[in-house]
Amino acid sequence: MDTTTTVLPNNGGRRRLVLLPLPLQGHLNPMLQLANILQSKGFSITILHTRFTSPNPTNYPHFNFLPIPDVGLENHSLSDIGNLIRLLHHLNTNFLRPIRDSLARLMLEDVGVSCLITDAQWFATQTVADSLKLPRIVHRTSNISSFLSFAAFPLLRDMGYFRPFSDEELKSEALVPGLEPLKIKDLPKFLTSDSEEACELIELMVQGTKRAQAVIWNTFKELEELELTTLSRGFPNPHFLIGPFHKYFPESSSSLLAQDQTSISWLDKHPHNSVLYVSFGSLAMIEESQFLEMAWGLANSKQPFLWVIRPGSIQGFEWLEPLPDGFLERIAEGRGYIVKWAPQQEVLAHPAIGGFLTHNGWNSTLESISEGIPMICSPCFGDQPTNARYVSDVWKIGLELENGLERLGIESSIKRVMVDKEGIEMRKRVLNLKEKANLCLKKGGSSYTSLEDLVDYILSL
Ligand code: UDP
């Protein structure tokens, strides 16, 4: 599909912002939501994007889409985390020239460009922006807490945390000095697998964020007030906390996969708070043995479940081949429903949902908080362990699977979150956060005010 559209000759006198998303589902979603928010504030929006995992422009007729010529991504797939690191490296080296050329052309047009807003992981674009004398604002799709752990990398290196850890250390309850409440096992996983390249990329992302004019966060002040104070000490650039982005407008689909709407009609048949939603986002992969443990844990829990299993997400299989014969009908006695991809925000907002077994990607975590759904956490990599620690130990709105994906732990956690008194308390706390999330978007609320400030700030550039 050729996604090229020409820039509208008449943009109604609106100032133009160019947004550059990272081509990954968990990054595209919030960036396109941010684009909608800024468009509603009177800016005209141009989305500069790779052809690799391109957003679908027909869902956003009010934006201009400008594809960057792809350089060497034709055969790229995201089947392991190593590929993700290589992708980030590739984007930040080989795409800089085409990005610069595209921006330079846009700046020559009558409407010009007021500001470039890039995903934080496009860290090398700061140099491009500087060379064009174009202000760059960073959009950080993750939260402040996990960013602080990334920002602590030099310190962690000095303290000897850049090495593979023993099983004993990974089980330790001791907190990492300066990064409380994080434990060793919560540190970003690539530290423990000794990946210098990943650490280097993270450090460049942190430096690129520091050099940007300002930072936009998909979080809200009431959730991360202490962390914001710590952040502001090390990163004096202005920070705009204007989340949760997805609550501003009804969902407009930036989904790269077709969302199975039968999820909703299936949920309609279930009582309030009775169904566990299970999804590990767009990138995480699990092994066959972990998948089977999940299946048995879900079946044994006797709780209804809606389970998203992405094709290709079980290592070595196309889809459901490892599932025992007759699993849904006989073993789980018709209580389960499996889809390839769900309309997740709609699912989490459905009254039948009572809990979320999640990998704790930041979008999923925030979407769960925004709907008042307690979580069972099984983080995989990157910022997910930090998010899970905050869910279980700081906000106390969920619990973590202590022994990973293992059937007994899954079964008992489902009971604790969906049935026991402990779960009722978690639900109360997460409903309280949901209320705060709603209030912060209303006139005078923290995100509402921060968005007004952001608009004024961009106009002042
Ligand atoms: N998502 C979805 N349908 C699904 C699973 C996930 O629409 O079946 C969306 C979800 O709502 C979220 C995004 O995909 O906005 C996943 O982002 P997240 O940060 O949670 O995880 P990632 O995919 O980046 O690991």
* pLDDT score of 75: 64
**Count of residues for the chain?**
461
Q: How far is Cα of residue 153 from the mean position of the Cα atoms in its chain?
A: 21
Rounded distance from Cα 364 to ligand 1 centre (Å): 6
Q: Cα(399)–Cα(365) distance, rounded to whole angstroms? A: 13
pLDDT (0 to 100) of residue 1? 33
Reading the block at residue 34, the tokens are 């941010």
Which pLDDT score, from 0 to 100, does residue 250 have? Answer: 80
Q: Is the pTM of this model over 0.85?
A: yes
Q: What pLDDT is attached to residue 300?
A: 97
- pLDDT value, residue 347: 98
Domain 16-248+443-460: which CATH class? alpha beta
Asked if the domains at 16-248+443-460 and 262-438 fall in one CATH topology, the answer is yes
Domain ranges within the chain, ordered by starting residue = 16-248+443-460, 262-438
Contact 136, 129 (CB under 8 A): yes
Contact 253, 227 (CB under 8 A): no
- The strand ranges marked E within 340-387 are 353-358, 375-377
Q: Which fold has domain 262-438?
A: Rossmann fold (3.40.50)
pLDDT (tens place) for every residue of the chain, 461 residues total:
333 333 333 466 789 999 999 999 999 999 999 999 999 999 999 999 998 888 999 999 999 999 998 777 766 666 655 678 888 989 999 999 999 999 999 999 999 999 999 999 999 999 999 999 999 999 999 999 999 999 998 888 888 887 778 889 888 898 998 889 999 888 876 654 546 788 889 999 999 999 999 999 999 999 999 999 999 999 999 999 999 999 998 876 788 899 999 999 999 999 999 999 999 999 999 999 999 999 999 999 999 999 999 999 999 999 999 999 999 998 889 999 999 999 999 999 999 999 999 999 999 999 999 999 999 999 998 899 999 999 999 999 999 999 999 999 999 999 999 999 999 999 999 999 999 999 999 999 999 999 999 999 999 99
Cα(385) to centroid of ligand 1, in Å? Answer: 16
The dihedrals phi and psi of 421, each to the nearest 5 degrees, come to -60, -40
Residue 371 CA to ligand 1 centre (angstroms)? 15
What distance in Å separates the CA atoms of residue 322 and residue 108, rounded to the nearest whole number?
Answer: 56
Ligand 1 closest atom vs CA 310: 8
What confidence score (pLDDT) does residue 233 get? 96
Closest ligand 1 atom to residue 380 Cα is: 25
DSSP 391: I
pLDDT value of position 303: 97
- Residue list, ligand 1 pocket, CB within 6 Å: 25-26, 29, 255, 259, 279, 281-284, 308, 341-342, 344-345, 361-364, 367
Q: How far apart are CA 359 and CA 274, in angstroms?
A: 20
Q: What is the residue with the minimal CA distance to atom 15 of ligand 1? A: 363
Token pair of 123, please? 């860290």
Give pLDDT, residue 190: 63
The structure tokens 């921060």 sit at: 450
